[in-house]
Structure 1
Amino acid sequence: MRAIRAASAALLSAAAVVATVAPAAMAGEDDHNVTSFGFSVSPETVAPGGSVTLKSDGCEVPSVTVTSGVFDTVTLNEGRSGNATVDIDAKAGAQYEITFDCKGERGTATLTISPGGTGGHPTGHEESPPPGAHKGVKAGYGTATASGADTDGLGVTEVVTGVLLIVGALGAAVVLTRRRATDGRL
């Protein structure tokens, strides 16, 4: 009977954690980017001095103003895309917020500054190996997301999935403990 009470208490504790953590974690995820108009920046990672394409659609006014601390203000007219040149002195590895403003409604995107040129090489070109040498396999990029940006810590999906797995395991333990108790094997 003690095992059933302990398992029930653990199950209730895990459920309380899910009820507390999941809504708070989900609330902080991109709420400020829910807008009535669409917007994008491409590419999401660029070298200092590089160029990005800014797009917006669905804004009822004829223009959208795009601002950032890493390039001059750009006005997108009537759904047309625009280009911006990133400051040459942009800090490598830094992330800059880009704000799209449609009639006072704002949405943001993040632009990451790469360290130097493409792939971290200042010239944008990889060095050629000596004749007859094998370059090998590039490995170690397993922590990148689909957008190519590294993630810091666990996301909402990982936290909720982990908590649900724990709750499921505890629930199974309670069921098995009760079956044993009714069979008289305890």
Structure 2
Amino acid sequence: MTNDKMKPNQRLIVAISGASGAVYGIRALEMLKAAGIESHLVVSKAAALSLEAETDLSLGDVQALADVVYKPADIGAAIASGSFRTLGMLIAPCSVKTLGEITTGVTSSLVSRAADVCLKERRRLVLMVRESPLHLGHLRSMAAVTEMGAIVAPPMPAFYTKPKSLDDMVRQSVARSLALFDIDVPMTRWGEDISLND
């Protein structure tokens, strides 16, 4: 399913973990497809349950949005190796459990193993952490993973865009996260689309 016009490293790993907010990963897959970026998807077991509870989509529906799909226990997958070139990895949403595994280097699944590979290869790793309120352990994990080179990017609504729907807010949050990989997707930008003079 790879587009021959794509450069070999124009791939992004997308992981959907078990935190609430599976829609962030779904929108990321849709935006990557529109941008011509090859997507490599892994959905955790807990995320499969979240999909069922939060959306009208089946796991198969979501997997169909990706170019390549991996099983969460497949630690021998291409994305588990540093020699497999990618732009990095987006975990959307990122559960606190997944955050903890990445922070400690305890890679018990393909999600945390692929994230660990991105860190060791100095590739971009963006974690859309979904938890509130946060206790000190969560905050320390976020600080530690940031020191390791990851970017913690909780999906925060950008009210200056004057969103008209929940989906507007989701799309803006995902677009901001993809922009961290220098992937150009439609989004409202301060200073370009909006300013205080509007």
Q: How would you bin the TM-score normalised by the shorter chain?
A: under 0.3
Which protein has the larger Cα radius of gyration, Structure 1 or Structure 2?
A: 1
Give the structure-2-normalised TM-score: 0.24
> Larger % of helix: which?
2
Higher strand share: 1
